[in-house]
Amino acid sequence: MKLASLQRLVRLNVARDIRGALSSTFGVTVGVAALVFFVALGLGVGAIIREKVFPVDARLVEVVPSQLSLGLLGGGKIDQAAVDRLTALPGVTEAYRKMNVRVPAVTVYDGDFFGRKLRMGLEIIAVGVDPALVKADVQIGDFSDPGPGQPIPAVAASRLLEIYNKTFAPARSLPQLSGSMLAGFMFPIDFNRSFVTAAPAGPIVSAQGQVVGVSDRGLLAGITVPLAVAMRINRAANVDAESFTAVTLRVKEPSAVPRIVTAVKGMGFRVDDQERRMAENAGAAVAITTSAMALLSVLICILAAFNIAHALSASVRARERELAVMRAVGASKRDVFSLVFAEALLLGAFGGLVGTVLAIAAAAAVDFASSRALPEFPFKPESFFIAPWWLLLAGVTLGVVAAMAGAFLPARRAAQLDPARALAGQG
Amino acid sequence: MISARGVSRSFDDGARGAVAVLDQVNLEVAKGEFVAVVGRSGSGKSTLLNVLGGLDTAYAGEVSVAGRRISGLTDAELARFRNREVGFVFQSFHLVPGLSALENVLLPSLFAAQTTPRARGQQVLEQVALGEKAARLPSQLSGGERQRVAIARALLHSPSVLLCDEPTGNLDALTADEVIGLFSRLNREGLTVVAVTHETRLRDAATRVLTLENGRLDLP
């Protein structure tokens, strides 16, 4: 049978019982809609966790000193020699050193803060890093040590800015800030001063800090400054300015990370993968929930396939004589099979398409309701959903596959129909 | 035109086991003949017609139609054979309800390898005097008109033989006469017609009458 003829007959049969056709596709529509909706939700929430809440770069390995020294085997402090050995590991492309500012510091701010009056004192934790680690996010200068008496370049963590915008600022009626607004902001820093520990020995050294950018790699609860600045401040305070707090290794491929981790541990150092583990745990929780909902959706589609099988079986029984006449005027068994099967395909594709569109509409409705009804919270996205092209295609395909599965037996039964008996009314 | 040799067909009838409906039937129909097959109900007339038309394949023996041996053809080959060489006319018309008269006539073309022009459908409708009712649905036609649409459908591909199963069984006497007249005209135009019937007038219109009794054909 020619394709045009098949299309003609399928259109005719579907149009003859449009209500029955819609009823058959209802289950497929619901199943596909649920699948696309929940998988898109899982992808969206997973992306928020990966990119916003725990922005972990899979190619970075954070090396920290071991809590106990292994003597001749190494370990203990990370000095420049250790950094050189880590850099020489096969697969490591770069090593970014980090050193905490090892003297206490506070900021006491009293002045204009983006159009509002702000009076606040905060303990400051600062870490110095090799500039290359955050260079891509620096908007002012080259993130080098400007020297004593000059404003210290500081990079803020993007997550800290998010928490400020979503919780602190609304609670204190402070303005919402963006990274570009914050760049250039000056604030005072008093080194060798603390609000929480006993007053350290030595005089308070006052300086100015200047926010030069916002970065995912910035210290979450503090500021990130150039490594040379941290070393200079530590040296001036007569504290350790030689050993590093941590080294971030960049490896060529994420697949090489386990091997690097093993080598690092073999050298007597530890790998700080707490954040990565939290990201993985959160990601796994989302993946499990998404999989459960996707499985439920597939189960709905399987039930829908049974429904289609039932409806098509009834339809074939009702049309036995008509199908027999078709056989009499030249339809082969294959033609009859194709006809019934193509009807199901059309219904499945329609159900899949409608289900996919419904899922997208439901996702848009949830996003709209979220933007209106949900209070602001850190990392609250504009959309909770990601619906890539393959998911939309998978939705339509699932509808078609469910219909095909449901149609197979009725189509085969129709093809095997004995036309002579059916025409005699004995089908 | 039609040759059947040693054709036997039986059906499984549950407790009674296999019941022979056709028993070693031999039949020869020449081109241009109008043959009426008569017999009591259940004598196997319709089964014989279905065997000759390639609609029933579970028989023993050999059947040739229009010079082609149809015994042993594949399903696809038999479908092509029914589409090109045979025209079926049934007692209950068996028109597709949602299709117009013209679309019903064109139904065989949907299963043909080559496209049949709509004009050909219109032409055969005019041949059965229904050219003006081409757009009507079956439900808008009388019984006689529906049967004429069914005859037009059977004629679409200019078949070698018209196989009619009680074609006047559902028609009143006047309408049956019209349909019988139509068969006679088509036969005079050269079409081979085989009709199984109880109808005396149809039997009288035939050029030869065969009687089927207890699965055996009583040849004159």
Region of B9 (left: φ > 0; alpha: ψ -120 to 50; beta: rest) is: beta
First-to-last alpha carbon distance for chain B, in angstroms, is 18
Tell me the pTM: 0.71
Of A12, A16, A331, the CB nearest to B111: A331
Q: Does B90 touch chain A (CB under 8 A)?
A: yes
Q: Which residues of A touch B55 (CB under 8 A)?
A: 327-328, 419-420, 423
Q: Which residues of A touch B45 (CB under 8 A)?
A: none
Question: Pick from B124, B123, B106: which is nearest to B115 by CA?
Answer: B106
Q: Does A161 touch chain B (CB under 8 A)?
A: no
Interchain proximity A329–B56, CB inside 8 Å: no
Lowest mean pLDDT among A52-61, A141-150, A167-176, B109-118: A52-61
Cα–Cα distances in Å, from A123 out to A190, A195, B83, B169? 10, 6, 92, 104
Question: Pick from A54, A63, A80: which is nearest to A250 by CA?
Answer: A63
CA dihedral A151, A155, A158, A161 (to 10 degrees): -20
Report pLDDT for A290. 87
Report the half-sphere exposure of B103 (CA within 13 A, side-chain side).
Answer: 13
One-letter amino acid at B116 equals: T
Tokens of A417: 């129909």
Interchain proximity A5–B111, CB inside 8 Å: yes
**DSSP secondary structure letter of residue B43:** S
Helix (H, G, I), strand (E, B) or coil at A416: coil
**Rg value, chain A, Cα:** 33
CA distance B56 to chain A (A): 6
Q: Does B137 touch chain A (CB under 8 A)?
A: no
Q: Given the DSSP bridges, would you call strands B208-213 and B34-38 parallel, antiparallel or unpaired?
A: parallel
Of B55, B108, B165, the CB nearest to A419: B55
pLDDT digits (tens, 9 = 90+) for A79-95: 999 999 999 999 999 99
Tokens of B126: 């005019």
Interchain proximity B75–A335, CB inside 8 Å: no
Average pLDDT rounded to a whole number, residues B162-175? 87
Of B47, B153, B165, the CB nearest to A329: B153
Kindly write down the DSSP assignment for every residue of A49-65, as one continuous string.
Answer: IIIIIS---TTEEEEE-
Report pLDDT for A302. 87
CA distance A426 to chain B (A): 12
Please state at what angle helix A18-48 crosses helix A274-318, rounded to 10 degrees: 180
Between positions 314 and 333 of A, the ones with CB within 8 A of B are 321-322, 324-333
Helix (H, G, I), strand (E, B) or coil at B60: strand
Q: Does B83 touch chain A (CB under 8 A)?
A: yes
> pLDDT at residue A427 above 50?
no
Task: Give this complex's ipTM.
Answer: 0.91
Kindly write down the DSSP assignment for every residue of A302-354, as one continuous string.
Answer: HHHHHHHHHHHHHHHHHTHHHHHHHHHTT--HHHHHHHHHHHHHHHHHHHHHH
Report pLDDT for A225. 96
Could you tell me which residues come within 8 angstroms of residue A152 by beta carbon, excluding any fewer than 6 positions away? A146, A189, A207, A208, A209, A210, A225, A226, A229
> pLDDT at residue A200 above 80?
no
> pLDDT at residue B13 above 80?
no
**DSSP secondary structure letter of residue B35:** E
Interchain proximity B110–A325, CB inside 8 Å: no
Mean pLDDT, chain B, rounded, equals: 89
Cβ atoms within 10 Å, residue B25: 26
**Residue B220 — very low, low, confident or very high, per pLDDT cuts 50/70/90?**
low
Of A5, A322, A330, the CB nearest to B79: A330
CB A156 within 8 A of CB A211: yes
Report pLDDT for A51. 79
**DSSP secondary structure letter of residue B163:** E
Q: Which residues of A touch B82 (CB under 8 A)?
A: 327-330
Could you tell me which residues come within 8 angstroms of residue A258 by beta carbon, excluding any fewer than 6 positions away? none
